[in-house]
Amino acid sequence: MKDVAVIGIGCTVFGEKWSHSFRDLFIEAGALALEDANLSGEQIDSLFVGNMSAGRFIEQEHIGALIADYAGLATEHTPSTRVEAACASGGLAFRQGVTAVASGMADIVVAAGVEKMTDVAPGQTVDTLASAADREWEGFVGATFPGLYAMIATDYMHRYPLTREQLALVAVKNHYNGARNPIAQFQQEISIDTVISSSLVADPLRLFDCSPITDGAAAVILAPLEIARKYTDTPVKVLASAQASDTIALHDRRDISTLDATVAASQRAFHQARLSHKNIDLVEVHDCFTIAEICAIEDLGFCTKGEAGKLTEEGVTALNGDLPVNTSGGLKACGHPVGATGIKQIYEIVQQLRGEAGKRQVDAQIGMTHNVGGTGATVVVHILGRS
């Protein structure tokens, strides 16, 4: 297997992009990534695109071909493949790109993610997102994602010491980081009171415990590490790429507030990279809800179960803490265009490792990403390092 590096990155501003179509979004992100790597389109060997549900959001399937076409690559007949794993689609697109380069089947590969979520009526958005859960056993009885994660939060808070204020601090921290990220959907700091006094969505989760509905796209370019310096002075090496599955329905789990697929993917990633937790300088975790960040920190193994609330309160996960978590603002503040999120996480880690993160910059040699589909039925973990 060849070593693989990220040689270019691009991302749109995330938000409600009423003036941008699905096509506009990925073209913008892709063009930024190509420019970053000093490449032109015809040098691309292959594309992998993460997208959750364009079929339902914009009535369009066959997303890989659509993207190759609108990127001007139809005359090159460049292979282009869509992968889907709900909100982990972006992370899996990155993983397919890594596999293609590692295998030797392709050299210059684009891994992208895109979602246009605002072009449907609000009820349809929630119902489409619910198609990431078990439709027959969860969706048909009315369960939506705020409801499912509220069950996780309720179970967690019953069993472990986590206060309402500690949970709110996850959102406060991520908004603080988002306020320093020019691509973030929400660039405003908030207080604990903002969270606690916001509308109740699904007890105990309130509006500011939830990530928003977002349009956006992100793209990164991969190449064999051995030729990466032809394109960039700051290649970022892929140290591990790991994936794990679990039951799609929450009620079938051994334990609903421990994501076993996060535990498995994390262990596989550390094993591949021959690294331990103390080597990780920062991590982008999948905080679709505040409780998800609490579980992620623990299930990735950065502390024991029940400790992440205290860690958050002590500032360990803050920008200036020992383990900065979600320096991008996370899904909560940066926004969550579901198919793009996994690639945006890579985008953030690469910016940090290159020293290009501006007001969010932390001191980092090695970073991790953690991308979740559904309530944890798919988890993808990557470890990236300076090269």
Please give the residues from 121 up to 160 whose contact with a second copy meets the rule CB under 8 A: 127-128, 131-136, 139
DSSP letter, residue 209: G
Distance CA 342, CA 182 (A): 18
Residue 80 found at the interface with a second copy (CB under 8 A): yes
**Residue with Cβ nearer a second copy (63 or 217):** 63
**Bridge partner residues of 283 (DSSP):** 325, 368
CA-based R_g, the chain, Å: 19
- The residue from 43, 56, 120, 147 that contacts a second copy (CB under 8 A) is 56
Q: Which is nearer to a second copy, 138 or 284 (CB)?
A: 138
Contact by Cβ (8 Å): 309, 171: no
Say whether 9 sits in a helix, a strand or coil: strand
Structure token pair of residue 250? 């929450």
Q: Is 241 helix (H, G, I), strand (E, B) or coil?
A: strand
Q: Which residues contact 263 (CB under 8 A, 6 or more apart)?
A: 299, 300, 301
Binding-site size, a second copy (CB under 8 A): 64
Cβ proximity to a second copy: between 146 and 339 the closer is 339
Q: Quick one: 106 or 316, whose CB is closer to a second copy?
A: 106
96 binds a second copy (CB under 8 A): yes
The residue (of 16 and 61) whose beta carbon lies closer to a second copy is 61
Least CB distance from residue 45 to a second copy, whole Å? 11
Query: Which span (34-42, 154-162, 207-215, 256-264) binds a second copy, by CB under 8 A?
Result: 256-264
Smallest gap, in angstroms, from Cβ of residue 73 to a second copy? 7
Question: What is the Cα–Cα distance from 8 to 350, expressed in whole angstroms?
Answer: 9
What are the tokens at 334?
């940066």
The residue within the footprint of a second copy, chosen from 28, 36, 84, 298 (CB under 8 A), is: 84
Of the residues 3, 260, 313, 314, which one makes contact with a second copy according to CB under 8 A: 260
Q: How far apart are CA 357 and CA 266, in angstroms?
A: 25
Count the neighbouring beta carbons within 10 Å of the beta carbon of residue 1.
Answer: 9
Chain centre distance of CA 207 = 20
Contact between 357 and a second copy per CB under 8 A: no
Binding flag, residue 100, a second copy (CB under 8 A) = yes
Which one of 40, 103, 124, 188 is in contact with a second copy (CB under 8 A)?
Answer: 103
CA distances from 235 to 97, 194, 205, 222, 359 (A): 16, 40, 40, 9, 22
Sites for a second copy among residues 166-195 (CB under 8 A):
none
Q: How far apart are CA 96 and CA 101, in angstroms?
A: 9
Residue with smaller CB distance to a second copy, 292 or 311: 292
Per-residue binding string, a second copy, 9-48, x by CB under 8 A, is: -------------------------------------x--
Residues involved in catalysis: 87, 336
- Told to check if 78 binds a second copy by CB under 8 A, we report yes
Query: How many CB atoms neighbour CB 104 within 10 A?
Result: 10
Phi-psi region of 96 (alpha: psi -120 to 50; beta: other; left: phi over 0): alpha
**What does the block give as tokens for 337?**
């265009």
Among positions 154, 198, 247, 387, the unique one binding a second copy when judged by CB under 8 A: 247
SS3 363: coil
As measured in angstroms, the least distance from the Cβ of 254 to a second copy is: 8
Contacts of 230 (CB under 8 A, 6+ apart): none
Closest to 221 (Cα-Cα) out of 39, 24, 26, 366: 39
Binding residue (CB under 8 A) for a second copy from 373, 381, 382, 384: 373
Q: Is 255 in the site for a second copy (CB under 8 A)?
A: no
Confirm or reject binding of residue 74 to a second copy (CB under 8 A): yes
Q: Which stretch binds a second copy (CB under 8 A): 27-35, 83-91, 223-231, 282-290?
A: 83-91
Residue in the structure block whose two tokens are 């953030």: 348
| Host H or E run for residue 229 | none
Among residues 7, 11, 27, 73, the one that binds a second copy under rule CB under 8 A: 73
Which residues are near a second copy by CB under 8 A? 1, 46, 52-53, 55-56, 58-66, 68-69, 73-74, 77-86, 92, 95-96, 99-100, 102-105, 127-128, 131-136, 139, 241, 243-249, 252, 260-261, 264-265, 373-374, 377-378
